[in-house]
Amino acid sequence: MAKSALLEVKGLRAAVAGNEILKGVDLAIRDGEVHAIMGPNGSGKSTLAQVLAGHPAYTVLAGTAKYEGKDLLDMKPEERARAGVFLAFQYPVEIRGITNSYFLRSALNALRRERGEPELDPIDFLQFLEQKLQAIGWDDSMMNRPVNEGFSGGEKKRNEILQLAVLEPRLAILDETDSGLDIDALKTVAATVNQLRIPDRAFLIVTHYQRLLNYIKPDVVHVLADGRIVKTGGPELALELEAKGYDWLRDGVMVS
């Protein structure tokens, strides 16, 4: 029995600073699926991730995005998050003076309020956090440092995945989470993501390289070029891209 799509994007066009980046994207992701979006630099991969998360710098020109049947594009960023959409940032932001622990508790409580669950006080939260950390086999060394401040590139990316584990979204969008990671960090992050793959959670993995997909096996691979999805296939498409590079894509057209 075919499940209805968790996320259904149709004809999505979006611009930043007057430049149209997305020129009609169609995409459907079902519960439990892992989709990878690959493509050359400037193809619009990160724009798609940002637009789905509601970044105010991007203007939607046309098209629709339905999440759980609701109009995602009509929701504020925080409403999308509370509905279960999570974006792991390509460039996580530093927040001075706020510890990771305080930040995560604020975020988790915002989600819990939405779900009508009681908020966690600092002590309950620490217990909850301990369990989560234990489950993914991480320590709490990042928790009492200000959010991303002074973090190495790898620590910042790990911190995004930690937030993913704590906030338990239904749709997780990973924007170039693999960039800047050495192979060990990449394996750790991938192992954690695999652990967080459950039937009612879907992933949209945006990446420039096939490397990450050696460790996180996607169900569907899309190739984005010049703001459009030009090819969709299975995991073998990623290998093909790795072998051929992106040169065979010109002006958004498959020329091979």
Partner 1 sequence: MAVKSSTVERLVGSYQAWATNGASRVPAWLKDLREGGITRFGDLGFPNMKQEAWRFTSVAPIAETAFELAYPPARVPSFAEIHPFLLGDSGHRLVFVNGFFQRSLSTPASDGVRLESLAQAIANEPDVVRRHLCKYAEFQDRPFCALNTAFVAEGAFVHVPAKVTVAEPIQLLFLTTGGKQVVTHPRNLVVIEREARAAIVETYASLEHDVYWTNAVTEITAGEGAWVDFHRVQRESPRAYHVAATQTHQGRDSTVNLHTVAFGGALARHDIGAVMAGPGGTLILNGLYLLAGAQHADHHTTIDHAADHCESHEYFNGVLDGHSRGVFTGRIIVRPGAQKTDSKQTNNNLLLSTGAHADSQPQLEIYADDVRCTHGSTVGPLDPRALFYLQSRGVGEHEARRLLTYGFAAEILGRMEVAQLRAQLDAIVRGRLAES
DSSP 80: H
Pick the piece of the chain touching partner 1 (CB under 8 A) from 10-18, 97-105, 205-213, 223-231: 97-105
Q: Which of 4, 59, 74, 106 binds partner 1 (CB under 8 A)?
A: 106
With binding defined as CB under 8 A, does residue 130 bind partner 1?
no
- Min dist. Cβ of residue 236 to partner 1 (A): 33
Q: Please list the alpha-helical segments (H only) found in 54-182.
A: 77-82, 100-114, 122-136, 153-167
Figure out which of the listed residues 10, 55, 66, 197 binds partner 1, where binding follows CB under 8 A. 55
Applying CB under 8 A, does 172 fall inside the site for partner 1?
A: no
Among left, alpha and beta (phi > 0; psi -120 to 50; other), residue 251 is left
Q: Is the dihedral of CA 138, 141, 144, 147 positive or negative?
A: negative
Longest dimension (CA), the chain: 59
Pick the piece of the chain touching partner 1 (CB under 8 A) from 37-45, 75-83, 186-194, 221-229. 75-83
Closest distance to partner 1 from the beta carbon of 84 (Å): 10
φ/ψ of 98, rounded to 5, equals -110, 120
Q: Which residues contact 249 (CB under 8 A, 6 or more apart)?
A: 39, 40, 223, 225, 230, 255
Nearer to partner 1 by Cβ, of 167 and 205: the residue is 167
Cα–Cα distance, 55 to 47 (Å, whole number): 9
With CB under 8 A as the contact rule, the residue among 36, 167, 181, 204 that binds partner 1 is 167
Contact 62, 11 (CB under 8 A): yes
Least distance to partner 1, CB of residue 34, Å: 21
Instruction: Supply the minimum distance, in Å, between the C-beta of residue 55 and partner 1.
Output: 6
120 binds partner 1 (CB under 8 A): no
Question: Is residue 82 a contact point for partner 1 (CB under 8 A)?
Answer: yes
Three-state SS at 245: coil
In this chain, which of 28, 60, 61, 110 binds partner 1, going by CB under 8 A?
Answer: 110
**In contact, 140 and 129? CB cutoff 8 Å:** yes
Which of 42, 77, 137, 234 lies at the binding interface for partner 1 (CB under 8 A)? 77
Give the residues lining the site for partner 1 (CB under 8 A): 53-56, 76-78, 80-82, 86-87, 89, 92-98, 103, 106-107, 110-111, 114, 146, 163, 167
